Each structure stands twice: as C-alpha cells, then as structure tokens.
C-alpha cells in the first residue's frame, strides 16, 4: 500500500472513530432516562435527557482554566 492510500485509509478510520464517539453520549443519556422508566417524548423524559446529556458532557470536558498542552513527541 503506498503512502497516499495509507493516509486516506487512516484519515477515514480516524473520522469513523470520531463519529462513532459522538453518538455515544446522546445514546447513553437516552438509556439512562429510559432505564428509570421515562417514556420517550414525555415531558419528564425530555427534562431527564437534557440533564443527563449536560452531566455527561461535563464529565468529558476539561476542568475550568485547564488548556490542552501539546505533546513533546
């Protein structure tokens, strides 16, 4: 496999990995709310979903004031 094809393959694989991770927070929030008995579309479910989505996004967010640092490598 030449380097151009390898680069395209790796970029595609990385893109799919990123996209597959995007849906996991939303689906986990949905699972949380349906597992405790809320029915999809009800007012309680919508409130639960928004709250769980916010909590899960905060779990993966950087702490306030923290900045990503470049790797030495």
In three-state secondary structure terms, 12 is: helix
Q: What is the DSSP letter of 30?
A: H
Instruction: Tell me what the mean pLDDT of segment 11-23 comes to.
Output: 55
Structure confidence at residue 70 (pLDDT): 73
Confidence of residue 13 (pLDDT cuts 50, 70, 90): low
Tell which residue, 73, 24, 17, has the closest CA to residue 53. 24
Helix/strand/coil percentages in the chain, nearest 5: 70, 0, 30
C-alpha 2: how far from its chain's center? 33
Give the per-residue pLDDT at 32.
92
- The pLDDT tens digits of the residues spanning 18-51 come to 555 556 889 999 999 999 999 998 999 999 999 9
Encode burial over 57-69: b for 16+ CB neighbours within 10 A, e otherwise: eeeeeeeeeeeee
**CA dihedral over 17, 19, 24, 25, signed as positive or negative:** positive
């Amino acid at each position: 496999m030449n380097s151009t094809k390898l680069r395209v393959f790796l970029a595609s694989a990385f893109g799919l990995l990123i996209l597959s991770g995007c849906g996991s927070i939303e689906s986990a929030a949905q699972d949380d709310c349906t597992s405790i008995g809320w029915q999809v579309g009800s007012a309680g479910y919508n409130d639960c979903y928004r709250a769980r989505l916010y909590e899960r996004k905060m779990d993966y967010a950087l702490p306030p004031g923290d900045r990503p640092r470049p790797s030495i490598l």
